[in-house]
């Protein structure tokens, strides 16, 4: 039985992603990094909008109770 020479905590999908990354051109890497950053920004903006909505709702409820 052969053992996989993975680092502790590294999964097979991580190995595949590393191999894929190595085959990309510099322009492709740059584009991919930009998209990953944009994705994180969009997620954080969505969270902010969600919390703003919750805050507004709580303020409305508070004024209704006053």
- 16-20, 36-40, 59-63: range with lowest mean pLDDT: 16-20
Convert the pLDDT of each residue in 21-49 to its tens digit: 999 999 999 999 999 999 999 999 999 99
pLDDT at 1: 43
Distances (CA, A) of 66 to 50, 54, 60: 25, 19, 10
56 has pLDDT over 80 = yes
The pLDDT confidence band at residue 11, using thresholds 50, 70 and 90, is confident
The pLDDT confidence band at residue 8, using thresholds 50, 70 and 90, is low
Contact 35, 27 (CB under 8 A): no
């Amino acid at each position: 039985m052969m053992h996989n020479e993975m680092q502790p905590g590294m999964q097979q999908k991580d190995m595949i992603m590393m191999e894929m990354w190595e085959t990309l051109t510099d322009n492709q890497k740059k584009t991919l990094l930009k998209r990953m950053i944009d994705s994180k920004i969009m997620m954080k903006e969505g969270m902010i909008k969600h919390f703003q909505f919750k805050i507004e709702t709580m303020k409305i409820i508070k004024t209704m109770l006053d």
